[in-house]
A and B are shown apart, each in its own frame.
Chain A
Amino acid sequence: MPAVVAVFALIAWPMYLIVSISFREGKSLNFAALGQRPFGLGNYASVLTDSATWHSAWVSFAYTFGTIAPAFVIGLGTALLLNRVFPWRRWLRSLMLLPWAMPGVMVSIVFLWLFDASFGVVNYALRSLGLITADVAWYTNESTALIAVIVPTIWKAYPFFTLTLLAALQSIPANLYEAADVDGASAWQRFTNITWPGIRGPAVLALILNGLWTFREFDIIFAATGGGPAKATETLGIRAYNEAFGYFYMGRAAAIGVLMLTIALAFVLVARRELRKEFF
């Protein structure tokens, strides 16, 4: 019974509210009066036929995959390094996890300075290396803004992979590697035949969780660009915020929220087969 109450209060009721608001048409931020707005499918019709929505969906996918793929590679690399025995290993492990604990807004502020067009370290380094001749306005240029928000998100996302994969690596029996050494296996063969099968389950789970978190990421993008310039970094989450608190269309914002929920559910359904294979 307590579980039913908890699920109803924490999940079902807020979900019902979002779905219910998504059917209320017109412009209002007055929550008490939202129930008096006309009921219909108008918000879904306008959201689904608006090219800006599909642009935001594309930005969300590009942002998610642009973050998760490199973050996974970095996370795997650091996990393999930290799994080795060397002095100060414990300290380094704690240090490596710090970005994960940083609030998104703080991460944005740090990277806004690093990528500053006139005084940023990134432009200075690229100029020194001769890779650019003029300063790049990373956050205000349509073609570079998405990269500029993906980089801090990778920095914040990779430690979760490190943590999960390191835990999985430590559960692989050492005698498997000893046997492989005796058989004369190469490093690549050891990785593909022992390491990867040993960490595949947690890796899939970490990819799904981190993927969903990145898909609904808000604070890093909002603090850095607010979705601009010219919608270049406007993910669905940022678009929902703008519709609600920028333009006062709460119904349209809720409809975008329902769309995001549907995409996330579809993603989990696709990954279900892999999850079942690994865990159930």
Chain B
Amino acid sequence: MIWKRWLTVLLWLVVASTVGAQPTTIELDFPTWQAEEPGAGEYWTELIKDFEAKNPGVKVKKTQVPFREYADKMTVRFAANNPPDIVHLPSRNFLAFASQGWLAPLDEYLAQTDVKATYTRMNDEMIYNGKYHGVLLMAYGMMFYYNEKMLQDAKLAVPKTTDELLKAIAATTDANAGRFGWAAPTTEHPNLVVEIGTWVTGERANLFKGNQYNFTDPAVIKAVDKFRAAIKNAPKGVSSEQARQLFVDGKVAMLRDGPWVAAALKKAPDATRPYLKMGMMPFATIPGGTSNSLHMPAKLDAEKRKYVWEFIKLTTTPEWQAKYTLLSASPAPRRNALPAAELAQRPDLALINKSAAEAVNLFPENVAVRENYNEYAKLFSEAGIKLITSERGTIDVMRDLQAELIKRIPLQ
């Protein structure tokens, strides 16, 4: 009879646990490369907290994926019919995903918001086949970071031109002592293309001329030669994340990067923090572009679709656009996202906004290249590695790259 008593107790426990159970939790999968980034990481944490408070029973599972492998990992997930619920993409990869039919059009949702009226025209980069397939998170201008003490020790002023910059890079480098004048991605990395593109755009050269590749143009070659001169004094084999860290640690005198690095400077060691400064790029033109964006996968069940949109919509509100600027130290796409009074108290944000306003897009605008950006970036970064590690002439490397691009990605 004892077993009957135990069985009764067990049944009661099962019934009680079922009756007392919480409503089913919906979990939204959200991979991003920014989860651990200073500034942006804090923004996402705060935003998710607010979203979960406003949507009880919905949880956002944020996971960190390294940037170097981010686009490939997302491609594999979409191809395997297992896309994330909230899709966060580097904007340069957006068209490749949209052209596969992997992203949902958002026009119906956007019609219920003020996004089209209040965002800068950079948001139009989210249009594919006449419809918006995403919402922009940031468009930016490149920033120049420098270690004031290292420049002073070399008796140098802050460079204002690329020639001054190259001289300062050479003068502050002492590789044997582990000190470098410049840091940039020097390994096969998607941001190596951005680094070279920055020098080309900054020198007012253009990699495209109408519907043709323009990689062997004398102005392009001259700009790439300047990139090579700078990179000779940079540590080898580092990614863009490592380059930032070396600057923050006081081992690098100067760095080109996006405005988001400003947030990382606050976490620098006490000995170097006071000397790390941010300024305008010492180039003839400020290179920049769209950075990253949020999207909804085309295949998603109705319930999740509703909450994914609520999440995206929350990022577009004036409150969270202002918080984006403050927490990530990057320009939000909503015009005047930060009130003028608040902006006046933050000269760093004013500088970042100025750079964004003056920026010229360094990323390719040709549709064929945008649809095949991964392949373009891979071929370009392979050539970039040759420019860094070999003694081959710049013109030869760029000619080979152009021939390969014509073969693999013919322009429309």
Interface residues of A (CB under 8 A from B): 28-31, 116-118, 134-135, 137-142, 225-226, 228-231, 242, 244-248
Contacts and interface: CB of A to CB of B under 8 A. Distances in A.
Contact of A137 (B178, B236, B372): B236
Contacts of B389: 137, 140-142, 229
B235 interface: yes
B78 interface: yes
Nearest to B71: A246
A140 B187 contact: yes
B79 to A, nearest CB: 4
A229 B386 CA distance: 8
B75 A246 contact: yes
Contact of A142 (B75, B96, B235, B390): B390
B158 interface: no
B100 A246 contact: no
A92 B382 CA distance: 44
Contacts of A117: 235-238
Contacts of B75: 29, 245-246, 248
Nearest to A116: B237
B378 A242 contact: yes
B76 interface: yes
A228 B188 contact: yes
B385 interface: yes
A13 B182 CA distance: 54
Contacts of B274: none
B100 A230 contact: no
B382 A230 contact: yes
A140 B236 contact: yes
Residue among B81, B238, B388, B389 with the most chain A CB within 10 A? B389
Nearest to A225: B188
Contacts of A248: 75, 96, 100, 374
A229 B101 contact: no
A228 B382 CA distance: 7
Contact of A229 (B81, B175, B382): B382
Contacts of B319: none
A137 B236 CA distance: 6
A229 B380 CA distance: 12
Contact of A246 (B72, B78, B186, B238): B72
A268 B54 CA distance: 63
A230 B79 contact: no
A211 B55 CA distance: 55
Interface in B366-386: 372, 374-375, 378, 381-383, 385-386
B76 A230 contact: no
Interface string B372-412: 10110010011101101110000000000000000010000
A225 B385 CA distance: 13
Contacts of A30: 100-101
Nearest to B76: A245
Given A142-B390, A246-B72, A246-B75, 18 more contacts: A29-B75, A30-B100, A118-B235, A134-B175, A138-B237, A140-B237, A142-B386, A228-B187, A228-B381, A229-B385, A230-B382, A230-B383, A230-B385, A245-B72, A246-B375, A247-B374, A247-B375, A248-B96
Contact of B78 (A29, A118, A247): A29
10 contacts: A117-B238, A137-B186, A138-B237, A140-B187, A142-B385, A228-B381, A245-B76, A246-B75, A246-B375, A247-B378
5 tightest CB-CB pairs across the interface, nearest first? Answer: A228-B188, A137-B237, A117-B237, A229-B385, A140-B237
Contacts, number: 80
Nearest to B72: A245
A246 B76 CA distance: 9
Interface string B177-196: 01000000011100000000
Nearest to A250: B79
A226 B175 CA distance: 28
A260 to B, nearest CB: 20
Interface in B72-106: 72, 75-76, 78-79, 81, 96, 100-101
Contact of B237 (A29, A134, A139): A139
Interface in B230-248: 235-238
Contacts of A141: 236, 389
Contacts of B390: 142
Contacts of A118: 178, 235, 237-238
A141 B188 CA distance: 10
Given A229-B188, A242-B378, A29 B236 contact: no
A247 B372 contact: yes
Contacts of B101: 30
Contacts of B72: 245-246
Contacts of A142: 385-386, 389-390
A138 B389 CA distance: 11
A267 to B, nearest CB: 29
Given A31-B79, A228-B382, A140 B188 contact: yes
A246 B385 contact: no
Nearest to A141: B389
A29 B235 contact: no
Contacts of B178: 118
Given A139-B237, A140-B236, A140-B385, A245 B187 contact: no
A116 B239 CA distance: 12
A228 B192 CA distance: 13
B73 to A, nearest CB: 9
Contact of A228 (B78, B96, B385): B385
Contacts of B238: 117-118
B378 A246 contact: yes
Given A142-B385, A142-B389, A247-B374, A28 B188 contact: no
A142 B408 CA distance: 23
A139 B68 CA distance: 15
Contacts of A245: 72, 75-76, 79
Interface string B47-81: 00000000000000000000001001001101101
A231 B382 contact: yes
Nearest to A231: B382
A28 B385 contact: no
A92 B193 CA distance: 49
Contacts of B188: 140, 225-226, 228-230
